[in-house]
Amino acid sequence: MPVFRIKEAAELLGVSYDTMLRWADSGRIEKITDDVGRRAVDGAALAEFARERAEAAATAEIEPVTGQSIRNRFPGLITRVVKDTVMAQVEIQSGPHRFVSLLSREAADELGLEPGMLAVAAVKATNVSVEIPATAARRRNVVS
């Protein structure tokens, strides 16, 4: 079972250490003790907590749409818009995640995209790769 220290869990969720510790102390997410006695969070519980937070944010921050085929929606703020004569590059910061979209300049102009606007990065991909960092591979061999 992967285990993350409170500090690591906070970084993964894009919140401060104090916020993560408050959530763990209040029981919002269950805290455990790692193999050396530090406060920690179970990896599966952290993943479920992150998914629930993302779903709540997606529905609470943005007005609902009438229909959609894309399930991966990341509400955030537009941080940069670069336009040339044909294309536009739009960057959206959603929590700890940065999304970059290339779209026509015409579409960007019609939407009135500019830094500071609330927007949703809607991601639909035919191929999504999964990588395991070295630290995660080591965690699989640790029993807590």
CA distance 139 to 135: 6
Q: Are residues 51 and 77 in the same domain?
A: no
Residue 125: pLDDT over 80: no
In 10 A of CB 116, how many CB atoms? 7
What are 65's two structure tokens? 């749409």
Last residue in a domain, options 60, 82, 102: 60
Does residue 66 fall inside a structural domain?
Answer: no
- At residue 131, what is the residue type? E
Residue 89: pLDDT over 90: yes
CATH of residue 97: 2.40.50.100
Q: Would you say 88 and 106 are in contact if contact means Cβ atoms under 8 Å apart?
A: no
Q: Are residues 9 and 55 in the same domain?
A: yes
Does residue 129 fall inside a structural domain?
Answer: no
pLDDT higher at 65 or 118: 118
Write out the residue range of the structural domain in which residue 36 sits: 3-60
Q: Would you say 92 and 131 are in contact if contact means Cβ atoms under 8 Å apart?
A: no
Last residue in a domain, options 60, 84, 108: 60
- pLDDT band of residue 127 (cuts 50, 70, 90) is low
Q: Are residues 11 and 55 in the same domain?
A: yes
In eight-state DSSP terms, residue 52 is H
Q: Are residues 54 and 93 in the same domain?
A: no
Q: Are residues 31 and 77 in the same domain?
A: no
Residue 144: pLDDT over 60: no
Does residue 43 fall inside a structural domain?
Answer: yes
CATH of residue 48: 1.10.1660.10
Does residue 50 fall inside a structural domain?
Answer: yes
**Left (φ > 0), alpha (ψ -120 to 50) or beta: where does 116 sit?**
left
- pLDDT band of residue 78 (cuts 50, 70, 90) is confident
Q: How many domains does the chain have?
A: 2
Q: Are residues 44 and 91 in the same domain?
A: no
Beta bridge partners of 75: 120
